[in-house]
Amino acid sequence: MHRGKGMKFVGDSRVPAPEMRTPKLPKDYSEYPGKTEAFWPNFLLKEWMVGAVFLVGYLSLTVAHPAPLERIADPTDTGYIPLPDWYFLFLYQLLKYSFASGPYTVIGAMIIPGLAFGGLLLAPFLDRGPERRPRKRPLATGFMLLSLAAVVFLTWQSVATHDWAAAERQGKIVQKVEIDKNSEGYKIAQANTCITCHGDSFQGGAGAPTLIGTGLSADEVAKIAKQGKGGKMPPGVFKGSDEELKKLSEYISGLGKK
């Protein structure tokens, strides 16, 4: 055959062709118009805009519903019931149950939360499938829904069962009043165990409200001293005479008045 006419050159199959020896380069993202964007400034600008919307929303909430201030912490007030921040309310509620409180506090404070958060840390190793659709990942989806439901339920229970009225009374800011402990009214209150619950400066404590700036008249104070109030103060606590009751009621009703 003449050279170049119908002749085929067959190379050694062990030698790769030139195009096979060229390493494959990553695809140029310009091949996907409309599906990609530049990180700077397009992507970051969108992130900043979303962050700004949330920031304005949070600032609006703080202006519309400011956080209530409470009185200065008193370490001697054993009746004060603290409330943790909202993101810890589910753990706070967990410690109220009998199986996680008292002698079993370690279970509620360490073991149960440790197992839950340990499971979240192990989630990437337990569910290594390529699927991304929730219905094709039943174990991961089920555990996540169960955890979310538990957190939401416990948080709701903590808010629903908390005595907000008592918390407001406990944290009420009371004006500082100079108490004359040598006055006759104070000595009568001391003799009738008033300061045992209401504090040595009538600042409140042990679940009892403050007696400073109550806005009650002397007659109303005398009535409460004799008949009690709300089940928390039983009737008959005052054991003095009518004259002492009058002096005591006038003394207490005058606390905090300018």
**Residue 196 belongs to domain with CATH number:** 1.10.760.10
The pLDDT value recorded for residue 40 is 82
Asked if the structure places residue 125 within a domain, the reply is yes
Residue 220 predicted with pLDDT over 60: yes
Is 198 annotated in a binding site? The answer is yes
The pLDDT value recorded for residue 1 is 47
> Any idea what the CATH number is for the domain that residue 90 is in?
1.10.287
In degrees and rounded to multiples of 5, residue 169 shows phi and psi of -65, -40
Q: Which residues contact 240 (CB under 8 A, 6 or more apart)?
A: 188, 191, 192, 248
State the residue range of the domain holding 234: 184-254
Is 194 annotated in a binding site? The answer is yes
Using alpha carbons, select from 212, 214, 222, 211 the residue that is nearest to residue 247. Answer: 222
Query: What is the number of structural domains in the chain?
Result: 2
Residue 254 predicted with pLDDT over 70: yes
pLDDT level of residue 30 (50, 70, 90 thresholds): low
- Please name the residue ranges forming H helices in the chain: 18-21, 44-64, 89-94, 105-106, 112-126, 138-161, 164-170, 184-191, 194-198, 218-227, 242-253
Is 197 annotated in a binding site? The answer is yes
Asked if the structure places residue 211 within a domain, the reply is yes
151 and 201 share a domain? no
